[in-house]
Amino acid sequence: MNLRPRVRVRLGPRLAAIPLASMLLACPGSPRTAGAATGPATSAPERRVGPGGALILVEANHALPIVHVVVALRSGASWDPHKKEGLAYLAATAARRGAAGQSRVQLDAHIDALGANLEVVVDPDSTRFEGHVLSRYLDEFLGIVADVVLQPDFPAAEVTRTRRDVLAEIDEDSTDDVSVGSRYFERNLYGDHPCGYPPEGTRASVARLRREDLRGFFSQHVVGPNVVLAAGGDVSADDFTAAVRRHFAALPARPAPGPNPLALREPQPPRGWRIQIIDKPDREQAQIFFGQLAVPATDPDFVPLMVMATSFGGHGMKATMMDEIRTKRSLAYGAYMTLSERLQRGALTGWVQAAAARAVPTLKLALKLYVGLMERGLEPERLAFAKSFLSGTVTTEMDDPEQRLDARVTAEIVGLPPRFVDELPERVQAVTAAQLGAAMARRLHAHDLAITVVATAAKLRPLLIEAKIQPSAIDVIPYDDF
């Protein structure tokens, strides 16, 4: 689960990038959603073939008269052409702002009248239109979603406005040190690979995008085999399938586009330890990121690495980093590690927030702990704790129908088996010490890490050199130079 897996937008106030979030793999220790529906009202999900070869996925839960809807393209930011990063994000956001002859204001008014919402979510592997609606208005709501997905207008004025809004969002992110650090860390880790760019792109790439690029994205990617239409809540598979076939009948049956050749290139991982300082003036805190490339979500080592990340950097106070860095030494406010689920290689990412004056000893300790993890593995009691904590947390988080539906869509997008979400607690519990040890031996490279620190370079660099870090191993980059 990575620090910045996706960008979620909606009309009106922008929702920030979701920190430490993954709908597929609930973050250990994250809060349970209030009002989650649980119990026997939930039935096993049904899978059906929809218009043009799309996948229909339905999970009935009649506890509340609400339906959660996800219409997802199996194409996300990783499909953006080089130097046009942000295309999927801009195209989907602009589509939401004018479709089938309806203006942005008209679409908003129609959705508001239903008491519904409709958001755009973009991550490296998917572009999603997500929302919820009272079950009695589901058919009308699906008609709106179909207009947005199948008939986006991309009016010139709205495209211009949307581009301006995205550029403002990028500027706004530059004021948040965690967002800045996450952007630069992923670039540090993935290099010029598409996963090294944020879903919303950069100022330069967004400025290059034109209406024809947005139309081209929808023409290429909105085809039946590339679409997942999912619903969870107060709806039957028969009713949802019938509504989908009415409103999405025009979904083309053309073959899905292949993967972006740029994304198929193997990212070149860092060699050794180089410390990248993202220079921001007058920082009293330092945001420390370190990590390495991991595995695709379908790799057999993925679940064992989840267990390892939970033990080392989960949100429980007994996790190694939290215990050693915060509890015992009070060096940091928080210390975590996440594992991202990806169609291609994900990442193991450590994140520590410390006072600027304590950044160097905090970084040194975090790296020492990670090297120790690689060299010594997990003790049996830590393995047992991590398995129990993670399986229990996933079970609790997946009680929420909306999160569970999104998790099912994510599992489908990244190529996991249909029952993966339901079986995940059991898969976690089944991890043996031998499996974990073998996975760690294959996958952990603690001496070859991307290291990014958001801090004031004039203060941090001398402290690093004083701590015997070679000046040639330190790179200073202005925070607005992405």
- Domain boundary pick from 262, 289, 308: 262
Q: Which of 212, 241, 262 is at the close of a domain?
A: 262
Task: State residue 199's pLDDT score.
Answer: 96
CATH code at position 302: 3.30.830.10
Number of domains in the chain: 2
For residue 403, give the H/E element and its range. helix 401-413
Q: What is the pLDDT of residue 4?
A: 35
Residue 68: predicted pLDDT: 98
Q: Does residue 50 register a pLDDT over 70?
A: yes
**CA 330, 332, 336, 337 torsion-angle sign:** negative
pLDDT tens profile 137-170: 999 999 999 999 999 999 999 999 999 999 999 9
What is the extent of the structural domain holding 217?
37-262
118 has a pLDDT exceeding 90 = yes
**What is the average pLDDT across 220-226?**
98
Helix, coil or strand: residue 117: strand
- Rg, C-alpha atoms of the chain: 22
Q: What is the pLDDT of residues 315-371, one digit of tens each?
A: 878 899 999 999 999 999 899 999 999 999 999 999 999 999 999 999 999 999 999
Note the pTM of the prediction, 2 decimals.
0.89
Name the nearest CA neighbour of 235 among 406, 60, 43: 60
Do 253 and 277 reside in the same domain of the chain?
no
Domain assignment of residue 401, yes or no? yes
> What is the arithmetic mean of pLDDT over 293-322?
95
**Has residue 25 got a pLDDT over 90?**
no
Statement to judge: residues 253 and 285 lie in one domain = no
The three-state secondary structure class of 86 is coil
- Both 114 and 247 in one domain: the answer is yes
Nearest to 427 by CA among 386, 380, 387: 387
The answer to the question of residue 5 being in a domain is no
Closest CA to 348 of 389, 289, 436, 391: 289
Q: Does 8 fall in a domain? A: no
Q: Are residues 245 and 128 part of one domain?
A: yes
30 is a domain residue? no
pLDDT digits (tens, 9 = 90+) for 167-197: 999 999 999 999 999 999 999 999 999 999 9
